[in-house]
Amino acid sequence: MRWRPIAVVLGFGLFIGAYGAVLAQGDGKMAKYFVGDLRTGYTFATPETQAIQDDDFANPAFLWVDYAVELWEDPSGDAGKACSDCHGAAEDTMKGVGARYPVYNAELGKPINLEQRINKCRVDNMQAKAWKYESRELLGMTAYVKSQSRGMPVQVQIDGPMAPFYEKGKAFYFQRRGQLDMACANCHEGNAGNMIRANLLSQGQSNGFPLYRLKWQKLGSLHRRFRGCNKQVRAAPYGYGSDEYVNLELFVANRGMGLPVETPGVRM
């Protein structure tokens, strides 16, 4: 009860915050980044950061994407094939693909993300070595493929064989972990728009990944971001491409269903 004056102040702050969001939503340029109550990380970024993403020539992520454009045409592996030998022009064949990942892979009996699909293609069809997570090649190719879906709504399957994996991802999202005993939801459901010291909490949407993070000075995967968040709450992170993170990726993608693919995004 003694907290009431503070609660009033907080309530007023929330009101101002919500009003600000409505104003921003009304802005024509920003409208596409809002879908119902969903907002992409773009809407939480500073105008300076937004400007970098708005301009493909200024966006440093395109250093990786441009490299992948070359790789797309380069034969690799014992089969002597390039991506383009089977898939033609990425602009045509990859359109919409990134928006629906992770997808169910019947052979493995579990969902795989776009990085894993690319590597599976390399190993199974090109007889080439899998690229490492966070390598220039895998980040670039993932961003290149997913960027073919820019502006298209995120839409993943969560029913049928995907249902149990979706449920696991959801459980992960709400599970408190680490010495700080915090769940993803504590920050990104309950506190989006609030500040953790100098850091503005976003809704934690995945539609811009892989993205160029100014803090990293590098393109980075969603799993890198998951690992960073886990470590910040002093929890042991899971591995890149682990089942736990792919399930979480599925849940997070569905949570942002309908948001436009922004890959490659730019964030603080």
Partner 1 sequence: MRHLRPLSVTLTALAMSLGLLLGAGAQAEELVKYQIVGGESIDKSLTGQPGDPVNGRKLAINRKLGNCLACHVLPIPEQAFHGNVGPDLSEAGGNLSEGEIRLRVVDSKVLNPDTIMPAFYRNDGFERVMKKFQGKTMLSAQQVEDVVAYIMTLKGN
Task: Determine if 129 is a binding residue for partner 1 (CB under 8 A).
Answer: no
Select the span of 57-65, 84-92, 126-134, 231-239 touching partner 1 (CB under 8 A): 231-239
Q: Which two tokens stand for residue 134?
A: 């966070």
Interface with partner 1 (CB under 8 A), residue from 20, 164, 190, 258: 190
Select the span of 133-141, 146-154, 180-188, 250-258 touching partner 1 (CB under 8 A): 180-188
- What does DSSP say about strands 103-105 and 110-112: parallel, antiparallel, or unpaired? antiparallel
Task: Determine if 186 is a binding residue for partner 1 (CB under 8 A).
Answer: yes
Task: Determine if 7 is a binding residue for partner 1 (CB under 8 A).
Answer: yes
Burial of 146 (0-12, 13-18, 19+ CB in 10 A): buried
Query: Is 127 or 199 the residue whose CB approaches partner 1 more closely?
Result: 199
Task: Determine if 240 is a binding residue for partner 1 (CB under 8 A).
Answer: no
Residue 188 CB: number of other CB atoms within 10 A? 18
Task: Determine if 45 is a binding residue for partner 1 (CB under 8 A).
Answer: no
Query: Is 11 or 164 the residue whose CB approaches partner 1 more closely?
Result: 11
Shortest distance in whole angstroms from residue 26 CB to partner 1: 24
- Residue type for 163, please? A
- Distance separating alpha carbons of residues 155 and 99, to the nearest angstrom: 6
Query: Is 106 or 195 the residue whose CB approaches partner 1 more closely?
Result: 195
Interface with partner 1 (CB under 8 A), residue from 75, 196, 215, 258: 196
Task: Determine if 15 is a binding residue for partner 1 (CB under 8 A).
Answer: no
Tell me the backbone φ, ψ of residue 182, rounded to 5 degrees: -120, 145
- Distance separating alpha carbons of residues 139 and 92, to the nearest angstrom: 20
Task: Determine if 229 is a binding residue for partner 1 (CB under 8 A).
Answer: no
Interface with partner 1 (CB under 8 A), residue from 161, 234, 239, 258: 234
Name residue 34's beta-bridge partners.
39
Task: Determine if 20 is a binding residue for partner 1 (CB under 8 A).
Answer: no
Task: Determine if 248 is a binding residue for partner 1 (CB under 8 A).
Answer: no
What's the Cα-to-Cα distance from 11 to each of 4, 38, 103, 193, rounded to whole Å?
Answer: 10, 21, 41, 14
Task: Point out the residues that are catalytic.
Answer: 229
Burial of 98 (0-12, 13-18, 19+ CB in 10 A): buried
Interface with partner 1 (CB under 8 A), residue from 70, 78, 198, 217: 198
Q: What is the DSSP letter of 196?
A: E
Task: Determine if 235 is a binding residue for partner 1 (CB under 8 A).
Answer: yes
Q: Which two tokens stand for residue 261?
A: 């693919």
